[in-house]
Amino acid sequence: MAHPRSALLNVMTAAAQKASRRLVRDFGEVENLQVSRKGPADFVSIADKKAEETLVRELSKARPDFGFILEEGKNIEGKDSSNTWVIDPLDGTTNFLHGIPHFAISIGLVRDNDVFAGVVYNPITDEMFWAEKGQGAFLNGRRLRVSARSTMADGLFSTGMPFLGMNKDDRFLERLERVMRVSSGIRRFGAAALDLAYVAAARYDGFWECGLQPWDMAAGIVLVREAGGFVTDITGKRKMLETGDIVAGTDKLHGDLLKLVK
């Protein structure tokens, strides 16, 4: 039995679907560009911007007073100061650029300084994850619950790795080693929004990353919480959007993961 979505979530999922149509077409084009010397990078940044424009247009039509925190463009002040969209039109740009079908549109709604609703959509697999505070988390209408695995040894974890001198944090390798020693594996798939959605869907048991932006995690935070998991920053506080550091995990393993990466 598919779960009925609220009016708010209908607005968010419709916007994601609309923006995804062109992204899917553009993704098909990227493969043709791979062989050209100029390379597809410019093309992808245009695809990113176009998707963002579509999201802003669709969401503004439905909720004209809400503001925006945007990755590509300038932030937009809304008349309604308690509601702000936090969107990433293309999370997993590097995957997209290389023709790897693992990327997503991420739409979060921050209400009164807390994440209230989130949608993460991978248009290639047609997986639409959505959640709203107090209403649970869903994947294409099926209720999500974090995994019941209770030991780190059974757990599969995900992280993001620093690249191109980003976040020159030597502790990354230490953390990686600590988690590797005690877990059944670590994945690095290159799209934080999907990593968080996968924790909500019991595919991963936890995820951590440092140096993220609010739009990488806003939607995913509410997905994990509504699926019964915990989300904190790396010190155990709830300041993920301010610090850019996040540790998400199941109710059973969040504490263990946090101890290892703290």
What domains can you pick out in the chain, each with its CATH number? 7-143 (3.30.540.10), 152-261 (3.40.190.80)
d(CA 5, CA 254): 29
Lowest mean pLDDT among 29-38, 70-79, 95-104, 191-200: 29-38
Amino acid, single-letter form, for residue 134? G
* Percent of the chain whose predicted confidence (pLDDT) is above 90: 84
Q: Taking all residues of the chain, what is their mean pLDDT, rounded to a whole number?
A: 93
Query: What would the two tokens of residue 144 be?
Result: 């999500």
45 vs 164, higher pLDDT: 45
**Cα–Cα separations (whole angstroms), residue 140 to 9, 149, 218:** 12, 23, 19
Cβ contact 87:107 at 8 Å: yes
Reported as a single tens digit per residue, the pLDDT across 183-221 is 999 999 999 999 999 999 999 999 999 999 999 999 999
* Average pLDDT over every residue of 26-35: 81
In this prediction, residue 165 carries a pLDDT of 57
Q: What is the pTM of this model?
A: 0.94
User: How far apart are the C-alpha atoms of 212 and 200, rounded to whole Å?
Assistant: 19
Residue 217 burial by Cβ neighbours in a 10 Å radius (0-12, 13-18, 19+): buried
pLDDT band for position 36 (cuts 50, 70, 90): low
